[in-house]
């Protein structure tokens, strides 16, 4: 098979999506032909600079492939690492074109605006000479795995909030309370609910030595810079929201607090349970959520917002309504993937149903023995295998935790089996390297609370 003049072999394809072009397989084939050195640096908060050495074909006959490779690679780096400045050495003309794409009127305006929201400074994409290329800087965040003392673990979900009192690594109290953060415009509602949860857990222990928070969103320090939990809060309240978790800790006597993305905390929980590193957690629910813990058991401090990172190069693939881009992870590893594939499986879903209700309808058909549904889960499993071949180019993955409503029940088992089969046929080395796991919901929730509580050092 070929894409933009690059032959990428004959990869296994999803039975319900023959037009799928696996980005990982194509990138590997492209890089095997590339000889012109190119260096990329992504700079983010606290002086962190992540660098990547690669190459372009740059033979004059593959101009379209050169740009597509560089453009997709930079986009993946931005959504995995996160940053306010991208510096590229060795591809000045392509960098100039790329910079135009990431302007307010460019095709990647959403991406640029998101990075600006997080870092509060405009995104820059710059060309530079070799002598001016920035050096890599910043270590992985040594966070989590601390179990001594009396700790609060708080998990801020979109529909319920969970809090645990944890003493020396053992949960002595845990509760789940329904709340409605996504519909509340007053940030004091959020603050009051967070403090109430903290106080409840504090009342079950002789003292509070530390507080750990797991929450959806992108964080700089303990500040939620972009989070769906505060989607209705007006921008004028941004200073209050940025300080909300630190302020809640102060209300309890200013105990040390650490906040982390819930995907990273999920991966941390898995690493603590497995007593191993190189763990990726991938949750398929409303969207795709990813977290990662490295070989040393540390969180990288990266975005890991792979819902917006590309996995499919087919330019006619389903477009993401939010970012405006095509072929990005949220349409392959979420309830949207099930909905997208349903027509190809001969299933018609009523447009009056919400996406969550459509997923439940497909799962109901599966439980009733509708064999066509199996093709949906097998197709997502093939997507996943090819995505792992891509993700492993940026993260070293030894264990993959599959989570979320989409992988629940028998469908998840079919997905896992198809993923294993595709890895074995297309990427045998990865099949040996990656251990796929489907933890049950109860163990995941308990592990999440203990992992969240373990975030701060005392």
d(CA 156, CA 246): 15
Q: Is residue 278 part of a domain?
A: yes
Total number of domains constituting the chain = 3
How confident is the model at residue 165, as a pLDDT? 96
Q: What is the DSSP letter of 312?
A: B
pLDDT in tens, 13-29: 999 999 999 999 999 99
The answer on 313 and 192 residing in a single domain is: no
The helix (H) or strand (E) run that includes residue 10 is none
- On whether the CB atoms of residues 217 and 270 are closer than 8 A, the answer is no
* Residue 354 covered by a domain: yes
Whether residue 175 sits in one domain with residue 72: no
pLDDT tens, residue by residue, 87-141: 999 999 999 999 999 999 999 999 999 999 999 999 999 999 999 999 999 876 6
At 437, list the tokens. Answer: 């796991």
**Neighbouring-strand partners of residue 39:** 53, 89
Do 247 and 187 form a contact (C-beta atoms < 8 A)? no
User: Does 9 reside within a domain?
Assistant: no
Are 274 and 231 in contact by the 8 Å Cβ rule? The answer is no
Q: Are residues 303 and 224 in the same domain?
A: no
> Contact, 345 vs 16, CB < 8 A?
yes
**Same domain as 421, residue 301:** yes
- Looking at the fold, whether 253 and 316 belong to one and the same domain comes out as no
Domain boundary residue among 202, 233, 262? 262
Q: Check whether residue 51 and residue 190 sit in a common domain.
A: no
Count of all residues that appear for the chain in the document: 458
CA distance 349 to 298: 43
pTM recorded for the entire structure: 0.91
- Do residues 52 and 116 both lie within one domain? yes
Compute CA distances 173 → 154, 158, 200, 202, whole Å: 12, 21, 9, 10
Dist. CA 257–CA 458, nearest whole Å? 9
Alpha helix positions (H), 317-372: 335-341, 355-367
Domain that holds residue 360: 267-447
Q: Render pLDDT for 298-322 as a digit per residue (tens, 0 to 9).
A: 888 899 999 999 999 999 999 999 8
My answer on whether 120 and 196 are in the same domain is: no
| Same domain (yes/no): 183, 224 | yes
């Amino acid at each position: 098979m070929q894409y933009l003049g690059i032959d990428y072999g004959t990869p296994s394809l999803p039975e319900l999506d023959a037009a799928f072009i696996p980005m990982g397989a194509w990138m590997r084939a492209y890089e095997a032909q590339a000889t012109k050195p190119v260096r990329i640096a992504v700079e983010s908060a606290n002086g962190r600079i992540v660098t990547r050495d690669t190459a372009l074909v740059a033979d004059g006959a593959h101009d379209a492939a050169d740009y597509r490779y560089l453009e997709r690679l930079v986009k993946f780096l931005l959504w995995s690492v996160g940053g306010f400045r991208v510096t590229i050495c060795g591809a000045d003309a392509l960098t100039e074109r790329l910079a135009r794409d990431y302007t307010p009127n460019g095709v990647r305006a959403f991406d640029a605006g998101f990075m600006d929201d997080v870092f509060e400074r405009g995104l820059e994409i710059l060309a530079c000479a070799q002598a001016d290329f920035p050096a890599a800087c910043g270590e992985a965040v040594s966070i989590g795995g601390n179990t001594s003392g009396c700790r609060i673990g708080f998990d801020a979900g979109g529909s319920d909030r969970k809090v645990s009192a944890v003493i020396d690594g053992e949960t002595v109290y845990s509760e789940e309370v329904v709340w409605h953060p996504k519909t509340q415009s007053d940030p004091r509602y959020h603050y009051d609910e967070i403090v109430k949860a903290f106080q409840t857990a504090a009342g079950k222990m002789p003292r509070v030595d530390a507080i750990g928070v797991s929450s959806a969103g992108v964080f700089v320090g303990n500040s939620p810079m972009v989070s769906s939990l505060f989607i209705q809060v007006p921008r004028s309240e941004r200073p209050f929201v940025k300080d909300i978790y630190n302020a809640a800790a102060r209300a309890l006597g200013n105990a040390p607090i650490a906040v982390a993305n819930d995907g990273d905390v999920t991966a941390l929980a898995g690493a603590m349970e497995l007593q191993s590193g190189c763990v990726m957690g991938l949750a398929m629910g409303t969207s795709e959520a990813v977290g990662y813990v490295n070989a040393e058991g540390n969180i990288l401090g990266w975005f890991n917002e792979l819902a917006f990172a590309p996995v499919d190069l087919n330019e006619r693939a389903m477009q993401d309504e939010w970012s405006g881009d095509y072929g990005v992870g949220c349409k392959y590893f979420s309830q949207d993937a099930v909905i997208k594939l349903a027509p190809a499986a001969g299933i018609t879903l009523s447009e009056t149903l919400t996406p969550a209700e459509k997923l439940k309808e497909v799962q109901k058909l599966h439980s009733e023995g509708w064999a066509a549904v199996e093709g949906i889960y097998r197709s997502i499993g093939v997507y996943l295998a090819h995505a792992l071949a891509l993700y492993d180019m940026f993260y070293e993955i030894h264990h993959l935790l599959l989570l979320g409503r989409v992988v629940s029940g028998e469908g998840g088992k079919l997905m896992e089996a198809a993923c294993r089969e595709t890895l074995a046929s297309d990427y045998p080395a990865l099949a040996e390297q990656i251990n796929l796991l489907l933890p049950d919901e109860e163990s995941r929730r308990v592990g999440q609370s203990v992992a969240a509580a373990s975030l701060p050092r005392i």
